[in-house]
Amino acid sequence: MTIVMKEKKKKEKSPKPKYNMWQNSLYMIKLACTSGEKKVVVLGGMTAILAVALNLINLYVSPAVLSAVERRATPGELAVTVAVFAAALMLVSAASSYVNVNTMYGQISVRSEIITMLNRKAATTAYPNLYDEKFQKLLIKSQDAIGSNRAATEAVWTTLTTLLSDTMGFVIYVILMSSVHPLLLAAVLATTVASYLVSNRLNGWGYRHREEEAECAKQMMYLNRQVSEMPLAKDIRIFGLRPWINELYAKSTAAYTAFQRRAQNVYIWARIVDLVLAFLRNAVAYAYLIGLVIASKISVSEFLLLFSVVGGFAAWVSGILGGLNTLYTQSLDISTVRECLEYPEPFRFESGEALRAQPGRMYEIRLENVSYRYPDAERDTLSGVNLTLHPGEKLAVVGLNGAGKTTLVKLICGFLDPTEGRVLLDGRDIRDYDRRDYYKMFSAVFQKFSLLAGTVAANVTQTAEDIDAERVRECIEKAGLRRKIESLKNGYETLLNREVYEDAVLLSGGETQRLMLARALYKDAPFIVLDEPTAALDPIAESEMYQKYNEMTVKKSSVYISHRLASTRFCDRIIMIADGGIAEEGTHEELLKAGGRYAELFEVQSKYYRKGEGEDEEECE
């Protein structure tokens, strides 16, 4: 690793987690209780007790049988001893298996509850958080912590249970070893801790170099993915890329193999250290206990018991140390999840004033000296904008790409708050309201819309329950899509989205736009916003679609964004956004007469379409 990379790594050192592993453990226990899964905690405790019980039975079975032999017990007594231990093993093993199986379902339920909480946070968080890099990183890392049964939010229960059983076993074994010399106990403890620390350090080599491994693996995965996809298939054949790709793959494979060799060398040393320290521990225990046997201070059966206790004691200590290390790692993930769930919201939701749209009432939205700058941007996207959307007015917003049209719409809809100035609803700052209530004031059709897997009716109503079928038909009729939908085999229950349903119907671009219009009409909100929803349509289809919008938005305030100026001539007012503000304002005819930027842009677009029509005519001739 170069000096530059090391310095960069130091600068990018992860911040200290907000919660420690004990706080996170308590959080998980409380969550299990509040989510109706108290049995996870209870059964976890039972699992730990049964694990210790099973260990103790296995510990005593051989010494007990040997002791019976030493006493010259009768065959019947020996048989009873064996039968008692066999029955105990069977019962405890069966109980342990039963408890483990039933615990698993509760653990999955708790993780599912966290998944639900994260999904709710992602879906309802304030819109500016979607631009927040820190929040996005927390969300991505949180997904890793809930992604599988082995993820931290579920695996932590196994870790806590194992830690509990290891601690109980440690205490019991300390009591059993109280009869041996303290120096033996100290020697066993010292070699065990040393073995764990050295092995853990060496075994953690792969974790500490995971970025280097990931870089090698990423290159191979990239090449594998590229050569298996259709777009590159043509280039491979036309440009003869195969030798080059083979060379790149060979280099990435060699780098990955070299990394794995280094890793295996480290892991071998970890194993050697563990074996040497285990040998020393067992040698000391053997020597001490054999001395006691020779001195007739303990019997052979007691020797077997104590030697097993020494080995078991080392296992409990290693288990506790390893469990704490695992719990710490899992705690980092759980802390990330909690920080994501608790990420601050810049908008008021439940704490805001309730807002309900009054049927038939038309509202006014006013922007007062509004400026907005995106995070880390060097200048404002919009600056000092004053604009009023009058009740029942049709307002068109036009301008070049990047001028700030969509940003203006986001401010009007309340997705963003101004960095300066205010957005007012009938003279009241929208920041006073519950922002989710404010969203209910709008219906919208965006350029990128959500066509979810479901029926036509469900996509119109955006719900699978309490669907007003008559109203759905009415909105589909107004959107000009009724003939198409009713011609389908399943009508309004026709499934959409072939990514989920094999028998789903694929609507054309224009049909999908009409479906989105029907959805906006079904909501029946006071404001309708159309943010370049027809960008993928040809000029004629777009003009027809906007005419349909014009007909359907009577007695509603509406905002239209279009990059084709001719499509918005039906609007009451047109504003042109340029240089961070409103450069021109008026009707289509007034702006053309003014001869400014709007007129220039309209003339450029008109020439383009006239030229296209002329070329088509020449081709036809």
DSSP letter string, 529-584: EEESTTTTS-HHHHHHHHHHHHHHTTTSEEEEE-SSGGGGTTSSEEEEEETTEEEE
The rounded Cα 605 to chain-centroid distance in angstroms is: 44
pLDDT at 200 over 70: no
Measured CA to CA, the distance from residue 476 to residue 514 in angstroms comes to 8
Ranked by mean pLDDT, the top range of 152-166, 204-218, 286-300 is 152-166
Q: Share the mean pLDDT of the chain.
A: 84
pLDDT at 354 over 90: yes
Measured CA to CA, the distance from residue 184 to residue 190 in angstroms comes to 10
Residues paired with residue 425 on neighbouring β-strands, in sequence order: 365, 428
pLDDT at 612 over 60: no
| 530 backbone dihedrals φ, ψ, rounded to 5° | -125, 105
pLDDT of residue 538: 64
Split at pLDDT 50, 70, 90, the class of 9 is very low
Measured CA to CA, the distance from residue 372 to residue 379 in angstroms comes to 9
What six digits make up the tokens of 417?
A: 């708050």
Measured CA to CA, the distance from residue 189 to residue 100 in angstroms comes to 31
Measured CA to CA, the distance from residue 55 to residue 53 in angstroms comes to 5
pLDDT of residue 1: 39
pTM above 0.85, yes or no: no
- The residue-averaged pLDDT of 19-40 equals 92
pLDDT at 436 over 90: yes
Of the candidate ranges 1-10, 103-112, 476-485, the one whose mean pLDDT is the lowest: 1-10
DSSP helix/strand/coil, 489: coil
pLDDT of residue 537: 62
DSSP string, 327-375: HHHHHHHHHHHHHHHTPPPSS-STTSBP--PPTT----EEEEEEEE--T
Four-point Cα dihedral 334, 338, 340, 345, nearest 10: 180
**pLDDT tens, residue by residue, 251-284:** 888 888 888 888 888 778 877 877 787 777 777 7
**DSSP H helical segments within 414-481, as ranges?**
435-439, 456-461, 469-478
DSSP helix/strand/coil, 415: coil
- The residue-averaged pLDDT of 514-538 equals 81
Split at pLDDT 50, 70, 90, the class of 359 is confident
Residues paired with residue 576 on neighbouring β-strands, in sequence order: 398, 584
User: What is the share, in percent, of the chain residues with pLDDT greater than 90?
Assistant: 34
**Spatial contact of 319 and 161, defined as CB atoms under 8 Å apart:** no
Four-point Cα dihedral 479, 485, 490, 494, nearest 10: -60
- The candidate with the shortest Cα–Cα distance to 390, out of 426, 440, 435, 431, is 426
Residue positions counted in the chain: 621
Radius of gyration of the chain (CA): 36
